[in-house]
Amino acid sequence: MDSNQTIVGLLKAGVGKTIIAESLVPAELPVAPLGAAFKRHFYLVGRSDQSNPQFRALWEMIETAAVKRS
């Protein structure tokens, strides 16, 4: 059992509240959006001289997707 399963089990038992990915919450538990103030930031870190073509293609795909979302 991982920690997310433990948290969901406690919530089902009526113990506490938490901030957790909505995709992990069972349908029978209520959810409430946090709003724009809780926006998460992700950082892509790597070497600019990456020689692996598969890694370079993945890097470029992530960069392109990030620019489209911003």
20 near 4, Cβ under 8 Å? yes
pLDDT for 9: 93
Distance between CA 2 and CA 26 in Å, rounded?
16
The model's confidence at residue 1, banded by pLDDT at 50, 70 and 90, is: low
Q: Alpha-carbon distance 62 to 44, whole Å? A: 8
pTM (2 d.p.): 0.51
Residue 29: its pLDDT value, please? 93
Tens digits of per-residue pLDDT, 12-61?
Answer: 999 999 998 888 999 999 999 888 888 888 787 888 787 889 988 988 89
Q: What are phi and psi of 51, to 5 degrees?
A: -95, -15
**Residue 54 identity:** Q
Model pLDDT, residue 63 = 85
